[in-house]
Amino acid sequence: MGTLVETDDISSDIYLSLGLTELDKGVGAPRVLSLLSSLLERSVQKNEMLLETKHIEDVVTVFHGLRAPTLSVRKYIDRICKYSACSPSCFVVAHIYMDRFLHHTEIKLTSLNVHRLLITSIMLAAKFMDDAFFNNAYYAKVGGVSTSELNRLEMSFLFGIDFRLQVSVDTFGSYCLQLEKEGSETLQIERPMQACRIKESWSNKEDPSCASTIAR
């Protein structure tokens, strides 16, 4: 398991750029974390604007909370990476799983469901990809939900994707390209912002504990 990045083609350069190779171990947070969080945050903003402007009522599922968590998507992903110790490739695979789930169920990704979808998909990716992984109780603690809730989320997610956990090398590579493209687009946006000296302020402080809870 976990052999999706072990290829000799041109994609290896992208894998290296995203921090998915063995050479990147111990070098800090893999770049894939920031790119994935940026992509998801933009998707959430786009969907919530669409729901508001078109007056569309969102479908409520077990993944929806009553209010959005205070922890940003980026800090939540960083937290999962820090405490779960899963391989960086799991975050790409989790992204693939989330896309499959959203496409099959036609649910919109919003601030009310993105965190639960993340912890569930990353946990499943770790179980499928990595040789070593934790039990559901541990991932629940990392994700800020109860074990019983994560068990329900896992089953709902698996049925939502028809238990399609297998990911081909081609599919993995195409999602890596998508994340690399996200990095290029983000850089183009940040440059004019820096020129205007616009600084982003984060209202959420990093939660040092391992038992923070998601808003209900």
- Which pLDDT value is given to residue 112? 97
What lies within 8 Å, CB to CB, of 103 at 6+ separation is none
Of residues 55 and 166, the one with the higher pLDDT is: 166
Q: Are 176 and 92 in contact (CB under 8 A)?
A: yes
**Amino acid letter, 15:** Y
Domain-by-domain residue ranges, the chain?
A: 29-187
> 123 is written with which tokens?
């946990």
Q: What angle in degrees, to the nearest 10, is found between the helix axes of 11-18 and 31-53?
A: 90
What pTM was estimated for this model as a whole? 0.81
On the question of pLDDT at 205 being above 50, the answer is: no
Q: Are 89 and 2 in contact (CB under 8 A)?
A: yes
d(CA 81, CA 181): 22
Averaged pLDDT score across all residues of the chain: 84
Please write the tens of the pLDDT for every residue from 78-107: 999 999 999 999 999 999 999 999 999 989
Quick one: average pLDDT of 19-39?
A: 80
Give percent of the chain above pLDDT 70: 77
> Measured in whole angstroms, how far is the alpha carbon of residue 19 from the centre of its chain?
15
> Measured in whole angstroms, how far is the alpha carbon of residue 123 from the centre of its chain?
11
Of residues 22 and 115, the one with the higher pLDDT is: 115
Of residues 25 and 204, the one with the higher pLDDT is: 25
Question: Band of the pLDDT at 216, cuts 50, 70, 90?
Answer: low
Please write the tens of the pLDDT for every residue from 66-86: 999 999 999 999 999 999 999
d(CA 213, CA 209): 10
Rounding to the nearest 10 degrees, give the CA dihedral for residues 149, 155, 157, 160: -140
d(CA 95, CA 172): 10
Backbone angles phi, psi at 167, to 5 degrees: -125, 125
Give percent of the chain above pLDDT 90: 66
Question: Band of the pLDDT at 199, cuts 50, 70, 90?
Answer: very low
Domain range 29-187, CATH class: mainly alpha
Quick one: average pLDDT of 179-200?
A: 57
Of residues 4 and 55, the one with the higher pLDDT is: 55
- Which pLDDT value is given to residue 203? 40
Question: Band of the pLDDT at 9, cuts 50, 70, 90?
Answer: low
Question: Band of the pLDDT at 124, cuts 50, 70, 90?
Answer: very high
